[in-house]
Amino acid sequence: MKTTRITIRNLFGISECDLDGKSIELSGPKGSGKTSVLDSIRYALTNRSDRDYIIRQGADEGEIIIETDTGLSIDRKTRTTKADSVKVKDGSMLQSRPSEFLNCIFTPLQLNPVEFCEMNRQEKNRVILSLIEFAWDTNWIREKFGEIPQNIDYSKHILEVLADIQADNGAYYQSRQEINSRKLHIRKSVEDIAMTIPAGYQFEKWDKYSLGEKYAELEKIKENNSVIARAKSFRDAYNDKKRGIQATRDIEINAAEKAIQSEREGLKSTVERLKAEIKAAEDKMAKLGDTLKDKTDVIEANYTAAIAKLDADIGISDKYADKEPTDVTALTEEITTAEAMKKHLNEYSRMKSMQTEIDALQVQSDELTRKIEIARELPGEILRTATIPIEGLSVDSDGVPLINGLPISNLSDGELLDLCVEVSISKPGQLQIILIDGAEKLDSDSRDKLYKKCKDKGLQIIATRVTDSNILEVTEL
């Protein structure tokens, strides 16, 4: 689709200008109105201008009309007293959404390819990526990722969005780094705790092990063993004690006999010396036998009682003396082991809790990895189904557009302008025009090549070039 007529009235300092669809170059000094022609065409297509004043000074209305060889016509008016208007007719059909329609018949590169060469790398990449047509919205993002990732500029092209989602400084990657860092820290703590816990540690066994019950069992066994030991010791001393009791009896009897004998001899002496008292002494002596019997009876009674008590004690001892003491070595070792094992319960529980946390963090990390991989794989999927208007255009894993494998930033000015030409003819039904503002920025050889390539591709060229001439010149190309 080519222009057949462009009429400009009272726009950007232009009183009136008519172009017939031919390719031209406007050359002359600065301020001579060259760029006003291009600004008017841009204004017709986009309804945008960087200038403060659109209507020519002194006029109330500005207008630009563009007609094409397909019957398409654009009539945009701007007024000082009324609302601006635009009519876009495709043959006899008046477009109800003229702005949307116009956006489909040109690309931004057509309107200022030289400016494209002066853009920074990010701006160039964004312009090129915008040419890749792929329908998407945040619902599509939610469907792919199960959420809408935060801190992402969704005004960018989808390939840039995906590159930002999976980027090293993106939320997913940074979150995964933090999770993995915490996971490593916790795992180190788990390893440190594990070093203090015996191999094969049986948490449930030692958690349920009742030290109180085992201590009671041990004390009961020890008490029983003490009774057995005392019984054995008592029985071993029985005969010695019995002999001791018997010796006490014999000593007491012997002492009694000696006392009686001494008294008997004294009394005999007294009888001999005291004849008068002999009868009394004999009577008393007669009674000494009874006295000896009484004392002997008392001694024998004490002896019998002592023997009876001893026999009673030995009966109790006999109940235990023949028993063997229970060996408490194993139980004591078990309790000692249990005490040592129970000291690890809290650390073991903490270690298991940490391991559970590690597992949960691993799940989170794996999910983030999955989403990062989705963001890395989707560009390939998009490029397989998207409309790519330029031959040799591809996109690397970081969302950077490549032309024949090279980043846009690696292209020369000439190659960049060639790219702009390719873009300008990329869409079917596109307006075949290219506006080149500031052609003096190109050397003559590059400029001639660009003009030739545009003409060979069937593009109408409207170019401006600053020259040393004092007048505005229009040259057909």
In this structure, which amino acid lies at residue 273?
R
Residues 210 and 302 in one domain: yes
Confidence (pLDDT) at 49 = 87
Mean pLDDT value of segment 468-477 = 86
Is residue 106 included in any domain, yes or no? yes
Is residue 200 included in any domain, yes or no? no
Residues 222 and 332 in one domain: yes
Half-sphere exposure of 437 (CA within 13 A, CB side): 18
Residues 335 and 233 in one domain: yes
Asked whether residue 298 carries a pLDDT value surpassing 90, the answer given is no
In this structure, which amino acid lies at residue 19?
L
Among residues of the chain, what percentage have pLDDT more than 70? 97
Query: What is the residue-averaged pLDDT of the chain?
Result: 85
Domain containing 445 — which CATH number?
Answer: 3.40.50.300
Helical (H) or strand (E) element with 93: strand 93-94
Contact 144, 381 (CB under 8 A): no
Is residue 396 included in any domain, yes or no? no
Asked whether residue 40 carries a pLDDT value surpassing 80, the answer given is yes
Residues 20 and 119 in one domain: yes
Q: Which of 340, 362, 379 finishes a domain?
A: 340
Asked whether residue 277 carries a pLDDT value surpassing 70, the answer given is no
- Integer Rg of the chain from CA: 60
Q: Which of 324, 340, 356 finishes a domain?
A: 340
Q: Which residue range is the domain that position 428 belongs to?
A: 3-131+410-476
Phi, psi of 64 (to 5 degrees): -135, 135
Distance CA 17, CA 184 (A): 73
**88-108 pLDDT tens trace:** 998 888 998 898 888 888 888
Residues 41 and 123 in one domain: yes
Residues 330 and 231 in one domain: yes
Residues 228 and 326 in one domain: yes
Is residue 389 included in any domain, yes or no? no
Name the DSSP letter for residue 219: H
Is residue 362 included in any domain, yes or no? no
Residues 210 and 335 in one domain: yes
Residues 332 and 428 in one domain: no
Please give the tally of structural domains in the chain. 2
**434-455 pLDDT tens trace:** 998 888 888 888 888 888 888 8
424 or 105: which carries more pLDDT confidence? Answer: 105
Residues 7 and 124 in one domain: yes
Confidence (pLDDT) at 278 = 67
Contacts of 113 by beta carbon, 8 Å cutoff, 6+ apart: 416, 417, 420, 421, 424, 434, 435, 436
Distance CA 76, CA 381 (A): 41
10: alpha, beta or left? (left if phi > 0; alpha if psi -120 to 50): left
Q: Which of 340, 357, 383 finishes a domain?
A: 340
Is residue 368 included in any domain, yes or no? no
